Amino acid sequence: MRTMDADVVVIGGGATGAGVVRDVAMRGYSAVLLDKADLGQGTTGRYHGLLHSGGRYVVSDTESATECAEENEIVTRIHADAVEKTGGLFVVTPEDPLDFSDQWTEGATKSKVPWTEISVAEALRREPRLNPGIKRAFAVHDGTVDGWQMVWGAARSAIDHGAQVLTYTEVTEIVREGDQVTAVIAHDLKKDEQVTISTRFVINTAGPWAGRIADLVGCHDVDVVPGRGIMIAMNHRLVNTVVNRCIYPADGDILVPVHTVSIIGTTDVKADDPQRLAIPRNEVQQMLDSGEALIPGFRDSRAVHAWAGARPLFKDKRVAVHRHPPHVARHEHPRPRHPRRRQGHRLDHRRQAHDLPPDGQERRRRDVRAARGGPPLHHRPGGRARLHRGPQLPHHPPPARQREGPRQAP
């Protein structure tokens, strides 16, 4: 048995978990990140690559839209190597109600999401393959992000700030004494060894597995149900700008250029197991049909890969409204103070670390630096950090679409 001590234990090694542990370490806390597999093997490795401007939520959730817009700027700065500033368009297709666009502009202004209305002619000049029947177009600050570079870059930076990253280490128990968490017990799957980490604070960033982690500490009031979504990568960049339909968030309403492909997504169907996700034929056809609404002739392109990812549906049994945040991060406590239910799409991990109580002037000074996102992350030629008991970090992790296998991104 191996024993460790840490101020904070972060559970879940996706983009949110890696960002949280980096931010915690930057604030001066000793921190450990745990994941039962390798980094980025869950939602992070199975999404469409969109870096939200906030435009998607300006009608449905203005608070989340504002957070997206604010954090988009910081993520773009600190993860410059992982982000492509493609820009984005919200377009009203011939199939979409025109009156919604007025609600959209009102919501975007209210939520302070930067936007500019452009002419249909200008939209078609920027993206010649767009449906020529579009009725309105709005330019926003969407981008695309390489999830693998983002998570590995954050992990490297966290290690540089003193954090430890333990991959292939599955949490089996969270120990508490009364109302206080005292330890996290995990199993090193490679060494078949128990690891006990003494701690007083746990942040749960396990995504669709977050409900299982919450159960370990007795947080039964909140269920986290996986929401399955499928995506399809087409064989080349049909667009060079993120293109969104200007409608209330729906299935298949986003086309994202990522590296050399375009990705259409996504559906949203309740799933029982986030590790066993179906890709139904009818949903594939639904995505292809949705692509046609944005890009006539979309089906004539070759689909090179279809995959499914799981987003967490956060269900608080004590309230009537449920949302679909891309991650669920909580302070584990037997009498939890339920956090705001966010839809920030891996953009609000700094706020989760900010909720930790500061201890002393130096830590407060570090809080100020971390609140600004910290310095940009850069790949270090020839420099490699090693994860504890995990694989050596590659200098350039392959893009998500190049990964293969049922547990990895395409």
Question: Which is more confidently placed, 337 or 120?
Answer: 120
pLDDT tens digits, one per residue of 238-259: 999 999 999 999 999 999 999 9
Asked if the model's pLDDT at residue 388 lies above 60, the reply is: no
Mean pLDDT of 191-217: 95
Q: What pLDDT score does 341 carry?
A: 34
301 by Cβ neighbours in 10 Å (0-12 / 13-18 / 19+) ranks as middle
Asked if the model's pLDDT at residue 61 lies above 60, the reply is: yes
14 found inside a domain: yes
350 pLDDT tier (thresholds 50, 70, 90) = low
User: CATH number for the domain including 178?
Assistant: 3.50.50.60
**Residue located via tokens 């003193």:** 162
Could you tell me where the DSSP H helices lie in 88-146? 99-110, 120-126
Determine contact, residues 330/348, Cβ cutoff 8 Å: no
Token pair belonging to 389: 């008991």
250 found inside a domain: no
- Report the percentage of the chain scoring pLDDT > 90: 72
Question: Which residues constitute the domain of residue 373?
Answer: 1-49+146-221+325-397
Q: Does residue 250 sit in helix, strand or coil?
A: coil
pLDDT tens digits, one per residue of 109-153: 999 999 999 999 999 999 999 999 999 999 999 999 999 999 999
Average pLDDT in the chain: 84
Query: CA end-to-end span of the chain, whole Å?
Result: 37
How many angstroms separate the CA atoms of 160 and 5, rounded?
18
109 found inside a domain: no
Asked if the model's pLDDT at residue 381 lies above 80, the reply is: no
248 found inside a domain: no
Q: What is the pTM of this model?
A: 0.80
How many angstroms separate the CA atoms of 64 and 66, rounded?
5
Q: What pLDDT score does 179 carry?
A: 87
16 found inside a domain: yes
Nearest of 351, 300, 341, 306 to residue 321 by alpha carbon: 341
Mean pLDDT of 200-207: 95
120 found inside a domain: no
99-110 and 62-78 are packed helices; what angle lies between their axes, rounded to 10 degrees?
A: 60
How many Cα atoms occupy the beta-carbon half-sphere of 57 within 13 Å? Answer: 22
Q: What pLDDT score does 403 carry?
A: 38
190 found inside a domain: yes
Determine contact, residues 294/91, Cβ cutoff 8 Å: yes
Q: What pLDDT score does 366 carry?
A: 57
83 found inside a domain: no
**C-beta neighbour count of 3 within 10 angstroms:** 10
Q: Give, for 275, the enclosing helix (H) or strand (E).
A: none
Asked if the model's pLDDT at residue 333 lies above 50, the reply is: no
Report how many domains make up the chain.
1
pLDDT tens digits, one per residue of 321-331: 444 443 333 22
pLDDT tens digits, one per residue of 40-59: 999 999 999 999 999 999 99
